Amino acid sequence: MALNQTPAAQRLHIGFFGRRNAGKSSLLNAVTGQDLAVVSEVKGTTTDPVSKTMELLPLGPVMLIDTPGIDDEGELGRLRVKKSRQVLNKTDLAVLVVDGTVGETDQDRELLTLFQQKQVPYVVVYHKADLLSGEERETCADRTGKENETVLYVSSKTGSGVEELKNCLAAMGRKEEEKDLLLGLVKPGDLVVLVTPIDKAAPKGRLILPQQQTIRALLDYGCIAVAVRESELAHTLESLGKQPSLVITDSQVFGMVSEIVPKDRMLTSFSILFARYKGDLKQAVEGVCALKEIQDGDRILISEGCTHHRQCNDIGTVKLPAWIRSFTGKNPEFVYTSGTGFEEDLTSFKLIVHCGACMLNEREMKYRLACAKDQGVAMTNYGILIAYVHGILKRSLEPFPDAAAVLEGQSIMKQGIGRG
């Protein structure tokens, strides 16, 4: 990602879905005014989801996703359909592309049902409108006929309806609530210290995405942001002349930073910030308490949203397992996933530990949380777990009273069970 680009996870994700040869790729090209997707008369030309980031006026920064046909056949076809369904888990707005010369099919209706089940806003596009007579358009409208459903007639060939579709997507996109990373934590003029370790895992020449986004959010608030390594933290606090309102640290140095930062100063981590920003902080706090129930052989899933090159002392595959073994005194089995890969059947796991999800959009992160909750599996976050095993989670949640109350409630419940 270039430094002047909006991160992919912060872009509105718009997915184009439909049957093979409905014209999804042609429509995407027409909307963007570019030849982004390969177009062919041969069915199944799009074999994998194709993503493209761009500025789409009047909407702004978006991620456009062209998907394989939902009616693909054969063994490979079934895998492609599975990929298309996975794309839906991160789709903010869906475009159902129906071949207007064929009309709505069972596969199209199945997609509509999925959109509704997953509560994804959508628009139905009857494509190849240049080939439809007025009577055929009326027939198409009758086939859809759902209340409050937006139906458009578009031709990629003539350009008819393309601007209407873009304006429709823009209107739908503006309804999506824009969240605030630092809501309720800072005010203009506050001094905030960011502890950012620079180790082998740090990208050369830049900060990692959560640190970049937090600095930008602080500047938007009119705060004073001071970024230091953990090795310079003590000296920095002595030199500032006043105490910071908030200290935000990388989770890996939580223990060390907690010893340095005065107890009357608020302290949390980037990972905990993102647990609230993109997921469900209270669910993650409740989930970490399952760590005390871990036994030998229990399966723990450690999942990362990115596919970075793993270092010799990698946090996900080395540090977290070591901390968990040390805290529990047990020897569980660890399973690892990264990127878009996420287990569908989670029932064999006792606990899921997820990264801060800086590379995933909010919808995909909430999908993963919902999967865990629906299957009765505890799920937490890197930063929350690290604070928990170091005995500083209560302090780290002071900026978040609702989540702190969940932790307190869990502690009271455990004590009650112990007395019983």
Give 338-359 pLDDT, tens digit per residue: 887 788 899 999 999 999 888 8
In this predicted structure, the answer to whether residue 418 has a pLDDT above a threshold of 50 is no
CATH topology identical between 8-174 and 280-419: yes
> Where does the pLDDT of residue 416 fall: very low under 50, low under 70, confident under 90, or very high at 90 and above?
very low
Residue 175 identity (one-letter amino acid): K
Cis peptide before 121 (omega within 30 of 0): no
pLDDT at 53: 86
User: CA–CA separation, 20 vs 46, rounded Å?
Assistant: 8
Residue 199 Rama label (left phi>0; alpha psi -120 to 50; beta): beta
For range 88-101, the mean pLDDT: 93
In this predicted structure, the answer to whether residue 200 has a pLDDT above a threshold of 70 is no
**Residue in 142, 409, 397, 119 with CA at minimum distance from that of residue 273:** 397
Q: Is 415 exposed, middle or buried (0-12, 13-18, 19+ CB in 10 A)?
A: exposed
CATH of span 191-272: 3.40.50.11420
User: CA–CA separation, 152 vs 141, rounded Å?
Assistant: 9
User: CA–CA separation, 389 vs 396, rounded Å?
Assistant: 12
CATH of span 280-419: 3.40.50.11410
User: CA–CA separation, 379 vs 113, rounded Å?
Assistant: 28
Domain locations along the chain: 8-174, 191-272, 280-419
Mean pLDDT lowest among 71-80, 121-130, 348-357: 71-80
In this predicted structure, the answer to whether residue 417 has a pLDDT above a threshold of 50 is no
In this predicted structure, the answer to whether residue 208 has a pLDDT above a threshold of 90 is no
What fold, for 8-174? Rossmann fold (3.40.50)
**Residue in 404, 372, 379, 164 with CA at minimum distance from that of residue 268:** 404
In this predicted structure, the answer to whether residue 129 has a pLDDT above a threshold of 80 is yes
Instruction: Look at 119 and 145; give whichever has higher pLDDT.
Output: 119
| Rounded percentage of the chain residues whose pLDDT exceeds 90 | 60
In this predicted structure, the answer to whether residue 315 has a pLDDT above a threshold of 90 is no
In this predicted structure, the answer to whether residue 419 has a pLDDT above a threshold of 60 is no
pLDDT at 32: 86
pLDDT at 381: 94
Q: Are 295 and 330 in contact (CB under 8 A)?
A: yes
For range 43-64, the mean pLDDT: 77
pLDDT at 196: 94
Mean of the per-residue pLDDT values for the chain?
A: 87
Assigned token pair, 122: 């959508």
| Rounded percentage of the chain residues whose pLDDT exceeds 70 | 86
pLDDT at 215: 96
> Where does the pLDDT of residue 367 fall: very low under 50, low under 70, confident under 90, or very high at 90 and above?
very high
For range 235-257, the mean pLDDT: 94
User: CA–CA separation, 58 vs 99, rounded Å?
Assistant: 26
Residue 313 DSSP SS3:
coil
Instruction: Look at 284 and 312; give whichever has higher pLDDT.
Output: 284
In this predicted structure, the answer to whether residue 412 has a pLDDT above a threshold of 60 is no
pLDDT tens digits, one per residue of 136-195 = 666 665 555 466 688 999 999 999 999 999 999 988 887 666 689 999 999 999 999 999
pLDDT at 276: 94
- CB within 8 Å of 287: residues ≥ 6 apart: 351, 352, 372, 378, 379, 380, 384
Instruction: Look at 137 and 326; give whichever has higher pLDDT.
Output: 326
> Where does the pLDDT of residue 303 fall: very low under 50, low under 70, confident under 90, or very high at 90 and above?
very high
User: CA–CA separation, 63 vs 53, rounded Å?
Assistant: 4
For range 227-240, the mean pLDDT: 96
Question: What distances in angstroms separate CA 304 from CA 353, 410, 416, one per listed residue?
Answer: 9, 26, 35
User: CA–CA separation, 420 vs 416, rounded Å?
Assistant: 6
- Tabulate helix, strand, coil % of the chain (nearest 5): 45, 20, 40
pLDDT at 8: 82
DSSP 8-61: GGGSEEEEEEESTTSSHHHHHHHHHTS--S---SSTT---S-EEEEEEETTTEE
